[in-house]
Structure 1
Amino acid sequence: MKNGALYDHLHDTNNVQKSSSLVNSWKMRIKISLDAARGIEYLHIYAVPPIMHRDIKSSKILLDSNWTTRLSDFGFVLDGGIQ
């Protein structure tokens, strides 16, 4: 993804010290959080069969060129339809 992982923006020492990252604004953090929550909601409720990601963390939340959140790395996925 063009803007990399959320983890890179949160833990880059240059961004933290200078407050220069767009991700340092609360408005952008809320947007990213809502985008991620909507993605998780889609996987849990609307996907057929439902999908449980099971390993959400900032390194697996990617940001595209429009700063839209994308979830990645479905290695620990659990099919929600399996009992």
Structure 2
Amino acid sequence: MGTENNQFAVRQSMNDASAAFWDRVARSYPNMSMRNPADYEKALDRIRAFLGSKDRVLELGCGTGTKTVKLVGAFGRYTTSDYSP
């Protein structure tokens, strides 16, 4: 039982560290320039190819929701969530 508790504590610590990192990055993320806009658009096109007008999508770790905005109309319903505020 002690090992399981210790493993949970380690995982929780890693989650906390990861959340702290992304919280720091989130402040400047919307102002960052995209490194390769053409490849980003190609990736969005690949995503659109899998979506139908009645599909429901769940995106976890959506960040600022940039992809959501660009994919509007390619699906029926889109639910997003992010750990960071």
TM range (shorter): under 0.3
For CA contacts below 8 A with separation 6 or more, give which structure has more relative contact order: 1
More helix per residue: 2
